[in-house]
A and B are shown apart, each in its own frame.
Chain A
Amino acid sequence: MKRSLLPILCCPTCKGDLVLSVVEEDESEILEGSLYCSACGVSYPITEGIPDLLPRKKNI
C-alpha cells in the first residue's frame, strides 16, 4: 500500500479515521502492517502490500 492512499482511506463501517501501524515498508510501499479504527475496535490488516478493508465485526 502506497502512503499516498492513506489520506483518502477511512473505516468502511463508521467512516472514521484509521491509525496506521507499519511492520515492514520498502522505498515505495507499506508491505505489512495494519489500519486500526478505534471507534469500531477493528484492525484492518495490510499483507503483502494489500490493505484488506472489507467490513467486519469487532475482534472480541
Chain B
Amino acid sequence: MNAAHSKVRQHYDEVADIYDSRYDRNRGRLYYNRLSENVLELLPKGKHLLDLGCGTGLFIQHYGKYGGAATGLDLSPGMIHKARSRCRMGQFAVGNAEILPFRDESFDALSSLLAFSYLKEPESMIKEAYRVLKPGGIIAVVTLGKNLLTSGLPALYAMGEAMNIRHVGMGDFGERYYSESEMNDLFLEAGFTDILVRRCSFAHINLIDPLYGIARKIEPFVEERLPYLAYNLLASARKPG
C-alpha cells in the first residue's frame, strides 16, 4: 500500500465512529439517499452487487431493499467493521479497488459512491471492474466533478488538515476531480459500451445550512439546466455481451 492509500485508510479508520452521523442523519441522509437513488436507477436489482469503497455499507443497505446479494470492499478495516454490523445480508472484505481480489465475471452490478476521487490509478480500477463484471453487467460511479466549486476544495481541505479539524473526508489526500469527457474516456478505453455521464446533486453536504436549504429547492432545476454547476458526476456503462 502506498503512502497516499495509507493516509486515506488511516483517516477513515479514525472517523468510522462518526461517519454515519454525517451521511446517515438529516441533511447527510437526504444527500446520500439522493445519490443512492440515482445510482440504483441504473443498476440491475436483486442481483449480485460489488460496491467499491463501501464505507459503512450505506449503499449496500439501499441495494439490499430489493433483495439479491452484495459484496463490499474498502481500504479501511474500521469502516468494514461498521458495515458488517449494519448489513447482515452483505459480505465484506478489506482491499484495494485498483487491484481486486475477485475472480473474473463474478458480479452483475458494480457501484462506487464518493470514493473514486481518492484513486491514484483510476484506469486500473475501471479495468478491474470490467474484468469482475459478467458480460452485460452494469457499472455506476459517483464522484466529485471538476467545476468552479470543487476547484476550491483541495485548498479548503489542506487548510482544514493544517488546522487539525476532525471532519469526515476533510484532509489533503491529493484527490482528483474529473470532467465528463475524462470519465467517458476511462470507460471507453476499458471496453465498456452504453456509456452515460451526467452531473447530479448540486446540494453538497458541505454547504452551510441556509444555503443547503435553498440549494435543495433549486437542485432539480440546476441538474436540468445548469449541469456545469452540479457537484457530482454520475457515470455508468455496460460490459458488452
Say yes or no: is A48 at the interface (Cβ < 8 Å to chain B): yes
Q: Which residues of B contact A53 (CB under 8 A)?
A: 93-95, 101
Q: What count of chain B residues pass the 8 Å CB interface test?
A: 22
Query: A12 near B101 (CB under 8 angstroms)?
Result: yes
> CA separation between A13 and B102, bound complex, in Å?
10
Query: B99 near A13 (CB under 8 angstroms)?
Result: yes
Q: Chain A at the B interface: mostly helix, strand, loop or mixed?
A: loop
Question: Among B84, B91, B107, which residue has its beta carbon within 8 angstroms of that of A4?
Answer: B91
> CA separation between A56 and B132, bound complex, in Å?
20
Query: B92 near A50 (CB under 8 angstroms)?
Result: yes
Interface string of A1-27 (1 = CB under 8 A from B): 110110111111101000000000000
Q: What count of chain A residues pass the 8 Å CB interface test?
A: 22
Say yes or no: is B81 at the interface (Cβ < 8 Å to chain A): yes
Query: A55 near B94 (CB under 8 angstroms)?
Result: no
Question: Among A4, A10, A49, A50, which residue has its beta carbon within 8 angstroms of that of B102?
Answer: A10
A-B contact pairs, 9 of them (CB 8 A): A1-B93, A5-B93, A12-B99, A12-B100, A15-B103, A50-B77, A52-B93, A53-B93, A54-B96
The residues of A with any CB-CB pair to B shorter than 8 Å are 1-2, 4-5, 7-13, 15, 44, 48-56
Q: Told that A5-B91, A44-B101, A55-B1 touch, could you supply 17 new A-B pairs with CB distance under 8 A?
A: A4-B91, A8-B71, A8-B107, A9-B102, A12-B101, A15-B103, A15-B104, A48-B81, A50-B81, A50-B94, A52-B93, A52-B94, A52-B95, A53-B93, A53-B95, A54-B95, A55-B99
